[in-house]
Amino acid sequence: MERASYLDKLNDNQRAAVTFGTGEPPGPLLVIAGAGSGKTSTLAHRVAHLVVNGADPRRILLMTFSRRAASELTRRVERITAAALGTGIAAEALLWAGTFHGIGARILRDNAAAIGLDPDFSIHDREDSADLMNLCRHGLGLSQTASRFPAKSTCLAIYSRKINSEAPLGDVLRDHFPWCAQWETELKRLFGAYVEAKQAQNVLDYDDLLLAWAQVMADPGFAAHVGGAWDHVLIDEYQDTNRLQARILMALKPDGRGLTVVGDDAQSIYAFRAATVRNILDFPGSFAPPADVITLDRNYRSTQPILAAANAVIGAARERFTKDLWTERASAERPQLVTYATEADQARHVVDRVLEDRETGTTLKEQAVLFRTSSHSAQLEAELTRRNVPYVKFGGLKFLDSAHVKDLLAMLRLGRNPRDRVAGFRVLQLIPGVGPKAAGHVLDALDLAPDPRAALRDVAPPPRSGSDWPAFVAAMTTDAPWPAALDKARDWYDPHLARLHEDSEARRGDLDQLAQIAGGYASAEKFLTDLTLDPPDATSDQAGVPLKDEDYLILSTIHSAKGQEWRSVHVLNCVDGCLPSDLGTGTTDEVEEERRLLYVAMTRAKDRLSLGVPQRFYVTHQSRNGDRHIYSLRTRFIPAGILDRFEVTHWSPARVGEVPRPAPAPIDIAAQMRDMWA
DNA sequence: ATGCACGCGGTTTTT
DNA sequence: CCGCGTGCAT
């Protein structure tokens, strides 16, 4: 076959990765792809190349870290194949592109009957899971222990880590939750109850999507059935997978044939979710003969000075398994390291710089401000709002977390799966006069009924529910097709929204948005699954999400910035305590992960990079005598020895024209007010 | 039984 | 500040 023209645009290593594999199907391949090395493009080309050479796209499994990454990849594959073949493959041909969790949900749903699951199972998001954990916690009387028992979210985090790391509970507690170690016995009991509750309620949490999948794969018959559905399995961001995911992968393709994994150990930033770089390091040796390894170390994204600074930061890492990145993009401009007296100064200057860059032709969308923790952007957001700069924030709170959205989604979930007690408690208590007790009775009755959905019509109304009940039942049991069913729920919910929230107008807008999204789905089930596994991740202040064609600045946690790039990048709060976060400096491993976070942040920049170092912070509510400020130091990841990679400056606001004004004589307002009644 | 007022305490990052 | 548990009035 004549050499396809798309191969000409690739460098030698990229081409080797794209065309790798002589066998049918080819042996296992590991691609170590440095930041900005054209990883996504290489992966897309490899998939396209397989298809161009006759692979059936419906028999390719493509697993990525987010659904956004999956659709980007799919789009590119379509473009490349379209150019190469004349006719592109249909958009639907790549049937199996998604996240580990999304694919897991699909496999479990498809095989539900055979593995003893009700196919109508609901999927709980993190908060729902924590709520269920809380119900169990109360049930076992753990909420009123003499010394305080760990909070529901902590319990869930411990449980989740145990599942995903496949480590004994004792080890998990010792290594990651030492302040909870005294509760090991109680936690074990709690987790047992939690698992039973999930099963009784026909509910799966995030971890179950992987755990149940792994358990399916442990059965040889099922493993062959599931694994046999694909000729090629490609995994992106392999450095951020955990033990459980690796186990699933190895069971899918035990001999490694058809398997490609891509990743970069220098960008591993999800250890808190039990991801382990061991997966990527041990991958080659898991097979006999070992997997081939191809390294992409040429960076196409950043200028040389940016790369030099990033390399210096990661160069000090305790362990390094890969390469220094190199580039041919010369520039005289070093990254900036700017100190400020306060965070407010930092916010002001960053906005100044952003606007300057926009004046000189860099749109807001081509610029980003990154930070370690969602709350670090608070002052910046205030400044942006004050100066009317539109922005969209990724990471942190999502609009799905707001009470009114959760209420409506819970109604839909309860309609599909009346055994879901978390949804049930939430929804039933919306009815005035119905509290935990009455809600519990209704749910118990539904639980015992042979057909819970029908039972909702017949169940005795709660004593004080009044005239609301028939309308509620009607809304819940409607036969309206999707998405009209959502409108029925909204109609019932609307008066309660107005009753419960002062700002019901703004919240109604969110629900409009939700209805819009719902319209794009064929069924409530698909809608709920997708929304839970891949929630719309941007929030943007009170103003609502800007229109798609509008220009807006990107604000993002470093975690949510993974895989992305911008011409200009500002990193906030590069000080000890923020980056590394003072919460995660317990162990050397945790500190090393924080170092990689800074590395990831810096390598997002194409042309311009600046790191902010505010020296004074206001810390609120840390001492009971009110707010205080603390002084902070430049991050330990930029020691004096590598300062020469940066242009170091200090910025303070101009004080021009500022004349101190004398204060007027004091007045006694309180006395005046008293005198009004004298 | 529900719902509200009060007081205490508090590990980010996400599928 | 916010969520959570407790205690009291309806």
Find which nucleotide's C1' atom is closest to A148's CA. B9
Task: For tokens 């703004």, name the residue.
Answer: A506
Find which nucleotide's C1' atom is closest to A153's CA. B11
Residue A75 scores a pLDDT above 80: yes
What digits encode the pLDDT tens for the residues A445-471?
A: 888 887 877 888 888 888 888 778 888
> In terms of DSSP bridges, do strands A605-623 and A538-539 run parallel, antiparallel, or are they unpaired?
unpaired
> Going by C-beta distance under 8 Å and a sequence separation of 6 or more, which residues neighbour residue A87?
none
**How many whole angstroms separate alpha carbon A4 and alpha carbon A85?**
10
Number of domains observed in the structure of chain A = 4
A268 touches strand B (CB under 7 A): no
Structure tokens at A185: 């016995």
Rounded to the nearest 10 degrees, the angle between the axes of helix A243-252 and helix A206-217 is: 40
| Residue A18 phi, psi (nearest 5) | -70, -40
Q: Tell me the mean pLDDT in the region A639-647.
A: 95
Answer whether residue A328 is part of any domain.
no
Q: Last residue of some domain: A272, A296, A320?
A: A296
State the Cα torsion A554-A302-A596-A540 to the nearest 10°.
Answer: 0
Whether residue A510 is found in the same domain as residue A564: no
Residue A149 CA and nucleotide C9 C1' are separated, in Å, by 30
Residues 519-558 on chain A lying near strand B, CB distance under 7 A: 533-535, 537, 557
Write out the binding residues of A.
Answer: 33-40
CA-based angle A262:A554:A403, to the nearest 5? Answer: 95
Answer whether residue A381 is part of any domain.
yes
What digits encode the pLDDT tens for the residues A211-240?
A: 999 999 999 999 999 999 999 999 999 999
Whether residue A526 is found in the same domain as residue A490: yes
Looking at every residue in chain A, the average pLDDT score rounds to 87
Q: Last residue of some domain: A533, A567, A602?
A: A533
* Model pLDDT, residue A259: 96
Measure CA A423 to chain center. 23
Closest residue by Cα to residue A38 from A14, A61, A65, A59: A14
Whether residue A184 is found in the same domain as residue A75: no
pTM for this entry: 0.88
**How many whole angstroms separate alpha carbon A30 and alpha carbon A37?**
15
Answer whether residue A320 is part of any domain.
no
Whether residue A571 is found in the same domain as residue A626: yes
* Helix, strand, or coil (residue A98): strand
Task: For tokens 């005198």, name the residue.
Answer: A675
A165 touches strand B (CB under 7 A): no
**How many whole angstroms separate alpha carbon A120 and alpha carbon A451?**
13
Q: Return the exposure string of A277-313: e unless at least 16 CB atoms fall within 10 Å of the residue's CB, then b.
A: bebbeebbebbeeebbebbbebbbbbbbbbbbbbbbb
Q: Tell me the mean pLDDT in the region A147-167.
A: 90
Q: Which stretch, A40-54, A134-148, A172-186, has highest mean pLDDT? A: A40-54
Is the link from the previous residue into A150 a cis peptide, with omega within 30 of 0? no
What digits encode the pLDDT tens for the residues A314-334?
A: 987 766 666 788 999 999 999
Find which nucleotide's C1' atom is closest to A270's CA. B13
Whether residue A102 is found in the same domain as residue A221: yes
C-alpha neighbours within 13 Å on the C-beta side of residue A590: 13
Residue A427, number of CB atoms within 10 A of its CB: 27
A432 touches strand B (CB under 7 A): yes
Whether residue A262 is found in the same domain as residue A290: yes
Whether residue A72 is found in the same domain as residue A142: no
* Model pLDDT, residue A508: 84
Find which nucleotide's C1' atom is closest to A151's CA. C4
Handedness of CA A488, A492, A493, A494 (dihedral sign): positive
The amino acid present at A88, given as its one-letter code, is G
A564 touches strand B (CB under 7 A): no
Is the link from the previous residue into A254 a cis peptide, with omega within 30 of 0? no
Whether residue A525 is found in the same domain as residue A599: no
* Helix, strand, or coil (residue A618): strand
Question: Residue A22's pLDDT band (boundaries 50, 70, 90)?
Answer: low
**How many whole angstroms separate alpha carbon A11 and alpha carbon A317?**
28
**How many whole angstroms separate alpha carbon A241 and alpha carbon A168?**
19
Residue A418 scores a pLDDT above 50: yes
A635 touches strand B (CB under 7 A): no
Q: Return the bridge partners of A337, or none.
A: A611, A648
* Model pLDDT, residue A459: 86
> Going by C-beta distance under 8 Å and a sequence separation of 6 or more, which residues neighbour residue A145?
A186
Residue A663 scores a pLDDT above 70: no
Answer whether residue A317 is part of any domain.
no
- The length of chain A in residues reads 678
Q: Which residue approaches B2 most closely, CA to C1'?
A: A435
**How many whole angstroms separate alpha carbon A428 and alpha carbon A437?**
10
* Model pLDDT, residue A542: 37
Q: Return the exposure string of A322-343: e unless at least 16 CB atoms fall within 10 Å of the residue's CB, then b.
A: bbebebebeeeebbbbbbbebb
Whether residue A647 is found in the same domain as residue A552: yes
What digits encode the pLDDT tens for the residues A479-527?
A: 889 889 899 999 999 888 888 877 777 788 888 888 888 888 889 888 9
Residue A433 CA and nucleotide C9 C1' are separated, in Å, by 16
Task: For tokens 């307002």, name the residue.
Answer: A669
> Going by C-beta distance under 8 Å and a sequence separation of 6 or more, which residues neighbour residue A481?
none
Answer whether residue A308 is part of any domain.
no
Answer whether residue A444 is part of any domain.
no
Q: Last residue of some domain: A296, A317, A351?
A: A296
A276 touches strand B (CB under 7 A): no
Residue A661 scores a pLDDT above 80: no
* Contact predicate A553/A390, CB 8 Å: yes
Whether residue A471 is found in the same domain as residue A613: no
Is the link from the previous residue into A28 a cis peptide, with omega within 30 of 0? no
Residue A304 CA and nucleotide B4 C1' are separated, in Å, by 62
* Model pLDDT, residue A260: 97
Question: Residue A668's pLDDT band (boundaries 50, 70, 90)?
Answer: confident
Residue A544 scores a pLDDT above 50: no
List all nucleotides in chain B with at least one atom under 7 A from a protein Cβ. Answer: 1-3, 9-15
Q: Which residue approaches C2 most closely, CA to C1'?
A: A621
Question: Residue A262's pLDDT band (boundaries 50, 70, 90)?
Answer: very high
**How many whole angstroms separate alpha carbon A229 and alpha carbon A96?**
10
CA of A308: how far to CAs of A138, A326, A329, A531, A594, in Å? 54, 8, 12, 40, 19
CATH number, domain with residue A263: 3.40.50.300
> Going by C-beta distance under 8 Å and a sequence separation of 6 or more, which residues neighbour residue A160?
A206, A207, A273, A274
Rounded to the nearest 10 degrees, the angle between the axes of helix A421-428 and helix A436-448 is: 130
A624 touches strand B (CB under 7 A): no
* Contact predicate A261/A280, CB 8 Å: yes
**How many whole angstroms separate alpha carbon A127 and alpha carbon A156?**
9
Structure tokens at A60: 């390719």
* Model pLDDT, residue A625: 46
**How many whole angstroms separate alpha carbon A566 and alpha carbon A373?**
20
Question: Residue A541's pLDDT band (boundaries 50, 70, 90)?
Answer: very low
* Model pLDDT, residue A437: 87
Find which nucleotide's C1' atom is closest to A438's CA. B1
Question: Residue A662's pLDDT band (boundaries 50, 70, 90)?
Answer: low
The amino acid present at A610, given as its one-letter code, is S
Taking only Cα atoms into account, the Rg of chain A, rounded to an integer number of angstroms, comes to: 28
* Contact predicate A570/A364, CB 8 Å: no
Write out the binding residues of A for ATP.
Answer: 33-40
Q: Which residue approaches B10 most closely, CA to C1'?
A: A622
Answer whether residue A321 is part of any domain.
no
Handedness of CA A88, A90, A91, A92 (dihedral sign): negative
Q: Which stretch, A494-498, A519-523, A562-566, A617-621, has highest mean pLDDT? A: A562-566
**How many whole angstroms separate alpha carbon A156 and alpha carbon A129?**
7
Question: Residue A624's pLDDT band (boundaries 50, 70, 90)?
Answer: very low
Residue A221, number of CB atoms within 10 A of its CB: 9
Question: Residue A543's pLDDT band (boundaries 50, 70, 90)?
Answer: very low
What digits encode the pLDDT tens for the residues A343-375?
A: 989 999 999 999 999 999 999 999 999 999 988
Top pLDDT among A292 and A459 is at: A292
Answer whether residue A426 is part of any domain.
no
> CB-based contacts with strand C under 7 Å?
A 134, 137-138, 143-144, 151-152, 620-621
* Model pLDDT, residue A623: 44
List all nucleotides in chain C with at least one atom under 7 A from a protein Cβ. Answer: 1, 4-6
Q: Tell me the mean pLDDT in the region A237-255.
A: 95
Question: Residue A678's pLDDT band (boundaries 50, 70, 90)?
Answer: low
| Residue A154 phi, psi (nearest 5) | -70, -45
Q: What is the DSSP letter of A267?
A: G
Domain region containing A338: 333-395+542-651
> Going by C-beta distance under 8 Å and a sequence separation of 6 or more, which residues neighbour residue A370?
A556, A557, A558, A561, A569, A570, A571, A572, A601, A604
Closest residue by Cα to residue A445 from A427, A415, A418: A418
Whether residue A167 is found in the same domain as residue A146: yes
Whether residue A131 is found in the same domain as residue A231: no
Q: Tell me the mean pLDDT in the region A533-560.
A: 69
